[in-house]
Chain A
Amino acid sequence: MSKRYHIAIVGAGPAGLSAAGRAAHYDAESGAAEPTYILLEGFNTFAKTIQKYQKGKHVMDEPGFLNLRSEVGFTAGKREEILGVWDEALAAGINIRYDSEVVAIDGEKGGFNLKLGSGDAVEAEHIVFSIGTQGNPRTLGVPGDAESDFVRYTLDDPEDFKEETIVVVGAGDAAIENAIALSDYNKVFIINRRNEFSRAKDGNLNAVLAAINDKNRPFYCVYEANVAGLELPSAPGAKGAIVLSTPSGEERIECHRIIARLGTIPPRKFVESCGIVITSDNPEAVPDVDRHYQSNVPGLYIIGALGGYPLIKQAMNQGYDVVEFINGKDTKPADYPLLQDQFSGLPYVMDAEDVLDLYQQRVPMFRHMNPLAFRELIIESRIIVSLPPAELARAPQGGERSTAFVAAGEPLYRNGEFSTTFYTLVEGEVQLQLEKDGPWHTIKPGQFFGEMSLISGRPRQGDAVVSEDAILIETPRRIMVKLMNSNKEVSSGIDRIFVMRALQAAFRPQLTLEELGNIAGQVETRQYKAGEVLFTEGEEGDCLHLIRSGTVMLTRGGANLVVNQNHSGELAGQMALMGAPRRRDTATAAVRTETIVIRQAEFLALVGSQPEHVATLQGRLSEVLRKSNSMASQPQAAGAIGFLMGQGLGEATNALVIDETLCVGCDNCERACAETHNGISRLDRESGASLAGLHVPISCRHCELPHCMKDCPPDAIRRSANGEVFISDSCIGCGNCETNCPYDAIKLSYAAPKKPGLLSWLLLGRGPGPGEPESFTPSAAAKDAGKKAVKCDACMGRPGGPACVRACPTGAAVRVSPEQFSELVEGH
């Protein structure tokens, strides 16, 4: 007979601990003799993601604007301190059960049955899922494979083990990195199920092959081997063994330890097996929950990272709230005061929860969204109210998170400005241009705009002018992308409008919205990876590509001779529909690119409705032809552009390019960078590729759609209106941006010690002088604060522009955008 609980909480991360803490509080209040809840953890310790952090890692408590509401404490601090606080909370009487992985759930609200990996079962009226998104490590799948001193699924510090024989199972990056690190002091066998290391990154692939071939390194590989069994050591410290089945029969390796790095099992399958629906196939999609965190399965609640809230504090607040809701309390969520603040400047008095409902109903695209997702969207957004310029000065000045006021009749953004936020109009009107100096379109309440920059990452095309008494929701790109990933309706709605407006901007058709909508429905959107070909020189073309995002390069007569490059909003291959079907160039995606494919029928419908615009299109085409002809007749210049594109500069907006025939190698650029950026240079002059006198050093290029911004938990990476991508002080040092940057332009670093003044250095010899030193020893305080991500901010706000360029004595360093590439390479 299994025990029955009021609440079963699955997963003892921050969210689960907080929920359990609140449940324990209720038990204490009611004087329950036995706990009415249980916290089930599949692993042998709590908060395993945080346990896995390196020793002494500083854990931040973003977002700063949100207060913690939990029975379990949490403030920013060292990993050990935080784990210590939680350990105390657990010891104070939280009913936790370790090594109890939930493998299946059946039943319904009031009578769920949770089957555990051990074969036991637990009954519960309500279930709270707080299992995160990291998943449990994949196990060896043979008897005796439970985590023990002999079998481990993680490796904290390779130097913990010396002079042992260790078997590492797995062929991924983690396995390779662990195995190589261990082989410094131990004899290591790496067990690969296949006959090659195909899953590993290039760097690791080379490293593992070198290690296997290195005769001086005790590093051995067994290919095509599966784990058939384990022989556990008879006593601690004694050797055990692993039995492998290989094509040549069974093989037995005696060893002190087995480290299995077989990846993790993403929780999605398990979640879906419980009846929870995840509507999108996108791997980043999260399940829908209602305002009370209840999923589509009544009685089954989802909180924390699995529900789309990766930050510790958010997750802990949800843990508290969810127990409140389950106990029938209609507590206002911890973020209620935030909403109140956001709506404080609205011209009417209404409860924040009601305004939230009202706005959701007013925007057709958001109407069917789940209320919790809409709530998050609003909390992460800015509410903007337009006022007549005369009243603007008298408007109350709230904090950063209160209603923002703008002047009516003034542009919300201007052509050429870098911003990727998304605007939804709730009240009033907005006049919108779709291209520079283009015709004006009127936006009505319930409609949205700003989707062009949202999708392409390019600067704004045309102005947006707001009328009097308008109310807008301005949502950051990050939130919209998350929403589009998980909500099909929103993503297809934005897509449709994007295509319609892109067509409007490119062809200015005189069509009704319905006709335009029909065409938008017919055209096809295609995705290309970097290096994929759109069309090939010499073939017959029947379509043109309107670029949605990314960069397309046109080459002629050889892959590296780039005669032209097209960016989002521009056309490629239009000649095919304008009289010359034979492709003159090969079009290749320089970076990840999306295009809208327009065929003859749609093209004729579009241009046929507005014959006057044909002359403009022809004019633009002539300009393109003139440019590509000029490049095609200078193969060296075209080759140099090909090189720059090969370095990924196709997606750059502002890149440092050094002329090697001028560079004397004085490194004054690096010193200037360090001196103007708290002692840490953000560029590495000497490394990076070169061709024909052009050198692309390792430094940030401020990509159109910055890879680094993709996955920043505290949203610390921002883009200024002028295009600089920078990291704000809220960085938590997680390293995601460093991993995501394909150009190695971001590094994690301790803060550098402060430098002495020039005079005290010169006269008293104190500390390092100007431009010195290249490396430093961080202070204890800096080490305590932990490493933070540092990258180039293009000397944003500095008079005179980037210090690296200004400090170059010979004029070798320049910063350029792709539009300037042809100017740059001519003469090289």
Chain B
Amino acid sequence: MHTSLLAWRNFRYGKWALLLGVIGIGLYLSQGGNAAQPPNGGTWQGYVLGTVGALLIVWLSVLGVRKRRYSSAAGTVQGWTSAHVYLGAVLLLIGTLHSAAQVGWNVHTLAYALMCLVIFSGFYGLYVYIHLPGHLATNNAGKDRDAWLEELADLDSNIRDTVESCDAELQAMALSALDLTQLGGSTWQQLTARDGSRIVLPGQSKAVSNAEQGIIVNALSERIPDARKQSQAEVLNELLALFGRRRVILHLLRQDVRLKGLLKVWLFVHIPLTIALLVALSIHIFSVFIYW
């Protein structure tokens, strides 16, 4: 019932792309070629390949428009995306055949290079689209981000209440661990799920790293055996359990941020490069006709 975008309609566009690729190779080979006129973009076969490639590029960029035509009845977005993936992949072949490996420091090669970058960023996008949603689902264990944040907030207020009966030193340390917890941060920190949380240790004025709540968890587990009274040990045990759970939720939330970020960030490369490609492509076509 649920079909992935690759398997859409029994790999319909995969088959089309394959056919297009075979025809492209056939065209390329039919150029024969000799020293005076090696296969290149200027033969009729080269023009055909170039035209097909240019049309593909334009059509592939139209996905962004179709995706936003919410009431369009022209196929489903999934069908378009499936075609986008396969035809985009075969474009790499068509473009390469059109260029016939003639490269240089010019606008033509710039267009080719941009095309390759767009396609490879697309391959990366396809990779994350296929692999990350499953990880994300497993990571979030059936709850959404708001639900986890809510549980985290409950834990924190619970910790604040519990720590009130502890000595001032521990209290200050635990509260600093709460206050200096970091979620999110710079794009890089988000995408790498780096934990910048810190803590102020007793007797120190500078905060040190408390990544994965490690310092506070260690501090608590070291204090438990030293506890003089049973009631004190109980409070410490409870705090340990709370911080342990907190560590897990923070980790999970960071992974959530990272995975969701990865699912989006490649588009910040893919789309601007596509625009650049469209510009370079226009110049390429224009200049080819000027210097006919």
Contact = CB atoms under 8 A, between A and B. Distances in A.
B142 interface: yes
Nearest to B63: A809
B8 A811 contact: yes
B133 interface: yes
Most buried by A among B2, B70, B78: B2
B54 interface: no
A806 B71 CA distance: 9
B133 A807 contact: no
B137 A693 contact: yes
A661 B69 CA distance: 25
B86 interface: no
Contacts of A445: none
Nearest to A663: B133
B144 interface: yes
B129 A812 contact: no
Interface string A644-672: 00000000000000011111111010011
Nearest to A799: B73
A824 B1 CA distance: 5
B167 interface: no
A809 B142 contact: no
Nearest to A803: B70
Contacts of A805: 76
Interface string A784-828: 000000000000001110010111111110101000100110000
Contacts of A799: 73
A28 to B, nearest CB: 59
Contacts of A803: 70-71
Interface string B64-93: 000111110100111011000000000000
A814 B129 contact: no
B132 A671 contact: no
Interface residues of A, number: 42
B159 interface: no
A137 interface: no
Contacts of A660: 133-134, 136-137
Contact of B134 (A661, A820, A824): A661
B3 interface: yes
Contacts of B68: 769-771
Contact of A807 (B1, B67, B144): B67
Main secondary structure on B side of the interface with A: helix
8 contacts: A664-B133, A686-B144, A687-B144, A690-B137, A693-B137, A800-B73, A810-B78, A811-B78
A3 interface: no
B132 A798 contact: no
B1 A676 contact: no
Interface string A451-490: 0000000000000000000000000000000000000000
A118 B129 CA distance: 74
B221 interface: no
Cβ-closest 7 pairs across A and B? A660-B137, A675-B70, A770-B68, A659-B2, A672-B70, A661-B134, A690-B142
Contact of B2 (A687, A690, A691, A814): A814
A665 B1 contact: no
A800 B80 CA distance: 14
A618 B73 CA distance: 46
A350 interface: no
B142 A811 contact: no
Contacts of A392: none
Contacts of B1: 814, 816, 820, 823-824
Contacts of B144: 686-688
Most buried by B among A664, A671, A690: A664
A297 interface: no
Contacts of A688: 144
Contacts of B77: 668, 806-809
B131 to A, nearest CB: 10
B217 to A, nearest CB: 26
Interface string B90-134: 000000000000000000000000000000000000001100111
B146 A661 contact: no
Nearest to A771: B68
A714 B67 CA distance: 38
A653 to B, nearest CB: 16
A810 B5 contact: yes
B281 interface: no
Contacts of A672: 70
A689 interface: yes
B145 interface: yes
Contact of B129 (A676, A689, A695, A810): A810
Nearest to B1: A824
A769 B129 CA distance: 25
Interface of B: 1-5, 8, 67-71, 73, 76-78, 80-81, 128-129, 132-134, 136-137, 140, 142-146, 161, 260, 263
Given A661-B134, A686-B145, A671 B70 contact: yes
Given A662-B2, A666-B263, A687-B146, 13 more contacts: A663-B133, A675-B70, A675-B71, A676-B71, A689-B142, A771-B68, A800-B73, A803-B71, A806-B77, A807-B67, A809-B67, A809-B77, A814-B2
Contacts of B137: 660-661, 663, 690, 693, 695
Interface in A269-301: none
Contacts of B3: 811
A675 B72 CA distance: 11
Contacts of B145: 686
Contacts of B4: 662, 810-811
A649 to B, nearest CB: 14
A417 B3 CA distance: 29
Given A687-B144, A807-B70, A811-B4, A800 B133 contact: no
B63 to A, nearest CB: 9
Given A668-B77, A693-B137, A811 B5 contact: yes
Contacts of A662: 2, 4-5, 133
Contacts of B78: 808-811
A824 B142 CA distance: 18
A823 B2 CA distance: 10
A394 interface: no
Contacts of B80: 809
A690 B136 CA distance: 12
Contacts of B136: 660, 665
A215 interface: yes
B5 A809 contact: yes
Contacts of B142: 689-691
Contacts of B143: 690
B70 A665 contact: no
Contacts of A811: 2-5, 8, 78
Nearest to A689: B142
A664 B132 contact: yes
Contacts of B81: 809-810
Contacts of B132: 664
A800 B144 CA distance: 30
Nearest to A691: B142
Contacts of A675: 70-71
A771 B67 CA distance: 10
A811 to B, nearest CB: 4
A696 to B, nearest CB: 11
A824 B2 contact: yes
B193 to A, nearest CB: 16
Contacts of A816: 1
Contacts of A215: 161
Contacts of B5: 662, 809-811
Interface in A99-143: none
Most buried by A among B5, B161, B263: B5
Contacts of B73: 799-800
A661 B133 contact: yes
A660 B260 CA distance: 13
Interface string A679-697: 0000000111111010100
A678 to B, nearest CB: 12
A812 B70 contact: no
